[in-house]
Amino acid sequence: MATPPVQSEPERFGTIMDPVHGSIQLDKYLFKIIDRPEFQRLRKIKQFGGVYYVYPGGVHTRFEHSIGVCYIAGQLVDALNKHNPPGEENLSKWFTPQEKMCVQIAALCHDIGHGPFSHVYDFAVKEYVYKKLKSEQKRKDFIRSKKDEYGDNEKLESYLEKNEVPKKAKHEYRSALIVKRLMEELNFDEFKEHSYMYIQLIQDMITFSERDLKNEETKEEFWPTKLPSDKTYKEKTFLFEIVANGFTGIDVDKMDYFARDAHSVGLPNNFDWRRFTQTAKIIKCEDDFHHICSRDKDALSLYELFHTRNVLYRSVYKHKTVVIVEHLMKKALKKTTPQTIIQVKAEDENESYSLLKCWHDIDAFLVIDDSIEDFIMNGQTDEHQQVQKLFIKKAQDTDKSLEKYFSRIKERKLPKFLGRTAKGSEISKRNIAICASAKKSEIETIEKRLKPLPVKFSYGKGSEDPIQSHYFYGKFYPQNPFHIQKEEVSKILPSDFKEEEVFWYYDMKDDNDDETEAVARSLWECLNMHKLPTEFKSALEGSCARKRKLHEVHKEYTEDEEFKDFQKIIKRYKPKGTQ
């Protein structure tokens, strides 16, 4: 009698070869999302925004980053389920199977709401919306001043209520909206009748870092939210510390993108996320929340995580050339507002959205990606991209100067970097222009071409030390978590955790190196007056003072004899070999 064939169980995992984490396995249900057009769109959105114009290796996308975050999240959940503190060995696992699914889906989809050039699009939208609201605020104040004249009509009240930045303008909230639609369409059997609760949990995990934890709404409405397991959000706080940790900023999103970004540009990454998962435990802390805690001896490693962040910001994300490239990208995106139209066609209507307004409609938003750059450069007027009933096209009256921003980036015709100053210094565009000018008529031109761009550096929580918010446990009393003071870890750690600078650029229409050098020299002299020889310093201070005084009384100073003497002094102290 023939032996019946053995029925093999269906594969539970899919395997992906990742350049950073190696061969990784993901649960099969995650591929239902990965294979959707909404997620595949991330293949065409670079992780780095404008960085790849400076670092040729920085061409990885939000697609592989999202998969990496999902993988680390799954590994961390499995590790935490195994690490019950002493005295709680009989406790059921911290995460139910459905909650693990929610964590992995939130990790996978946390960036699905990103627009073209990643954060550049968000910054452009933010500036556009804030500028609009600022003008609306002026109108609002005017209407209030005329309230007696206009009266308390419904039109006035509805107008006054619109002075709030929409949440959909931020990629975290767009991600939450897109994942909700995905989950409703895919209809996972594992969630059954509680699907709406699990979908809400996924959305809350994605947007948690944007939540104000001191807000009364968070205390009174968010934390008491019930889960299908009959636990509350507060009893399972750790659910919100994995994908987008609003408490400390220590989350799997950073663990992946620090490693991935450093790998792509050739910088070292000294933080080992696997070590973090090996010692991480969930313990009830003094604030009455169950937090993910680390072993006390791992404190320096966590500082290394944020040190890596600082290095990446200084060397990569806020590289002097990247800053001006992304500034031009934002200008290009904002320039498209009246011209480039995203059209959404329904059966009985034709809705139109400009590029910086298409986040109003998720269908319109999902059409755009990094290919918008080619669209702008090529100047197409016909159908650009077809996705079901959606397409993007350029209006007939498009400003032909729109392409110049990306042309300048590609041809490297960028504003020249002059130097940097601390935010709040007394250096102003006017003073630099006056000091750099040879005659009064040049002042306005030089001042107009100077571009100061603010840049911030931190460990992710403003001026706060993020490690001071994290809980640790020791070898002998692991059930009693505590905070570690910075001095206990090392006395040579940073004393300040936030720094703000201003990068100065000079925008020339033509490559006039002499003029740019003169302005750069003036900025350097303003910043480094104390380093100059006494005679040169006195001459420089005197000349600048006279030029300012003459400018104030509207007199020309090109023929000023004392100014000519100053020019001779400059030549005397110029380094040999310079023109």
Q: What is the structure's pLDDT at 251?
A: 97
Residue 27 φ/ψ, nearest 5 degrees:
-60, 145
With residue 27 as reference, give the H or E element that holds it: strand 22-27
Angstrom distance (rounded) from CA 559 to CA 425: 32
Q: What is the structure's pLDDT at 424?
A: 79
Angstrom distance (rounded) from CA 465 to CA 446: 41
Cα-based distances in Å from 462 to 4, 133, 323, 497, 500: 66, 25, 20, 7, 10
Nearest-CA neighbor of 108 among 16, 223, 231?
Answer: 16
What's the maximum distance between 2 C-alpha atoms anywhere in the chain?
116
Tell me, what amino acid is at 257?
Answer: Y
Q: What is the structure's pLDDT at 148?
A: 56
| Beta-strand relationship, 340-345 and 350-354 | antiparallel
29: Cα separation from own chain's centroid: 29
Per domain, the residue ranges of the chain are 13-120+168-322, 338-410, 416-462+500-573
Given a contact cutoff of 8 angstroms between Cβ atoms, the answer to whether 228 and 190 are in contact is no
Angstrom distance (rounded) from CA 330 to CA 323: 11
Q: What is the structure's pLDDT at 350?
A: 64
Q: Which CATH class name applies to 13-120+168-322?
A: mainly alpha
Tens-digit pLDDT profile for residues 73-107:
999 999 999 987 555 554 567 999 999 999 999 99
Angle in degrees, CA 492, 493, 496, rounded to 5: 120
The residues that bridge with 450 in the sheet, in sequence order, are 506
List per-block mean pLDDT (blocks of 10 residues) for the chain, which spans 579 residues.
Answer: 55 91 95 96 95 94 98 97 65 85 98 95 86 64 55 45 59 94 91 91 95 86 94 95 96 97 94 96 94 96 95 96 95 76 54 82 89 75 45 55 82 90 81 74 84 93 92 93 94 91 86 76 74 66 63 49 49 47
Q: What is the structure's pLDDT at 552?
A: 55
Q: What is the structure's pLDDT at 203?
A: 97
Q: Exposed/middle/buried for 518, CB within 10 Å: 0-12, 13-18, 19+?
A: middle
Q: What is the structure's pLDDT at 58?
A: 93
